[in-house]
Amino acid sequence: MDVAARTKDTTLKAFFKLCRQDEFARTLLYPDVPSYYVWIKKNTWARRKCETNVGGYPGVKKDATLGRVFTVPPSRQECFYLRLLLEDDSQWDATMAEGALLKLPSALPHLFTTILQMCEPCDPKSLWDKYKDFLSEDILREAQLMCPTMALTFNHEIYNRALIIIENLFVEMGGGSLAAIGLPTPDRVASSSLSPEIGRETSYSVEEINAYVTTNEPKLLVDQMAAYDAVLASTRQDAGSIFFLDAPGEREKRS
């Protein structure tokens, strides 16, 4: 009898065999197996016989148990990388969601960077897109304190500052540029200062502006409409014109 035949199956190897034989098992990730199967003395997975039926799969039952799935150390390279193939980013998504729920915006960039460096998620860009507001919350709050009279919201400058912080942390942890792992490249020159002027010009609500224009455009007088049309035409043509408006302060305002 050769060595391979004498070697007992590990839980991971047995899972591979199970997937060849069991259609339902092929729908699972390895960490989910103990919810539907039990590890028996024959070194194999067997379907659970109690608990809740799974719709569409006769004979399959789910238990809310926290079963034990043994980890695979990196030193066992073949098994380690095979296990990686069975994983997705759902666990890192859940980790970020929990961090956001705890309302710790100052700590969230550190958590996100740790996931990037230590856990190597498959799609970092999707995690960033989903949680960028939470990751940028502290920066927005700082900008709002600097400019209390402006209705600042999340914008490109805010996100850019967050990316710079994350990239700095990533480098400190031994990583490289964010671009190398598929994240947007932060613009460090543009983010040298988050000035009130930049905040004012980039923080606005398109919906509110459209509503304001729709309401007030019909109220313009003939001369006002002429000036309004001239400014719009210059803007749309990128002409860079200069306009002088003669509007004495004493003149009665008309609506």
Tell me, yes or no, whether 130 lies in a domain: yes
**48 shares a domain with 129:** no
Show which of 85, 105, 122 is a domain's final residue.
85
> Angle at Cα 124 formed by Cα 118 and Cα 125, nearest 5°?
160
**198 shares a domain with 229:** no
Give, to the nearest 10 degrees, the angle between helix 137-146 and helix 124-135. 30
Q: Which stretches within 136-236 are classed as H helix?
A: 137-146, 156-172, 196-202, 206-216, 222-236
Tell me, yes or no, whether 231 lies in a domain: yes
Tell me, yes or no, whether 213 lies in a domain: no
On whether the CB atoms of residues 150 and 203 are closer than 8 A, the answer is yes
* Domains of the chain: total: 3
Tell me, yes or no, whether 209 lies in a domain: no
The predicted structure's pLDDT at residue 109: 92
Separation between Cα atoms, residue 151 and residue 210, nearest integer Å: 17
**12 shares a domain with 62:** yes
Separation between Cα atoms, residue 4 and residue 145, nearest integer Å: 67
On whether the CB atoms of residues 95 and 111 are closer than 8 A, the answer is yes
Terminal alpha carbon distance of the chain: 97
Tell me, yes or no, whether 124 lies in a domain: yes
pLDDT per residue rounded down to tens, the chain (255 residues): 444 445 566 777 788 888 888 989 888 887 788 888 888 877 888 888 877 888 888 888 887 654 444 555 556 666 655 555 555 677 788 888 878 887 677 788 988 998 888 777 888 999 999 999 999 998 888 888 877 767 778 888 889 999 999 999 999 988 889 999 999 999 887 655 555 555 556 566 778 888 888 999 999 988 889 888 988 888 888 887 888 877 665 444 443
3-state secondary structure of 250: coil
**124 shares a domain with 44:** no
Element (H or E) spanning 171, and its range?
Answer: helix 156-172
**139 shares a domain with 232:** no
Tell me, yes or no, whether 95 lies in a domain: yes
**121 shares a domain with 73:** no
Separation between Cα atoms, residue 156 and residue 202, nearest integer Å: 8
The predicted structure's pLDDT at residue 3: 40
Tell me, yes or no, whether 60 lies in a domain: yes
Tell me, yes or no, whether 212 lies in a domain: no
**230 shares a domain with 185:** no
Quote the tokens at residue 105.
């915006």
Separation between Cα atoms, residue 194 and residue 48, nearest integer Å: 58
The predicted structure's pLDDT at residue 239: 80
Quote the tokens at residue 139.
């920066």
**97 shares a domain with 175:** yes
Which range of residues forms the domain containing residue 59?
3-85
Element (H or E) spanning 140, and its range?
Answer: helix 137-146
Separation between Cα atoms, residue 220 and residue 249, nearest integer Å: 17
On whether the CB atoms of residues 182 and 124 are closer than 8 A, the answer is yes
**108 shares a domain with 186:** yes
**181 shares a domain with 102:** yes
Show which of 66, 85, 104 is a domain's final residue.
85
**191 shares a domain with 244:** no
**106 shares a domain with 52:** no
Show which of 85, 107, 136 is a domain's final residue.
85
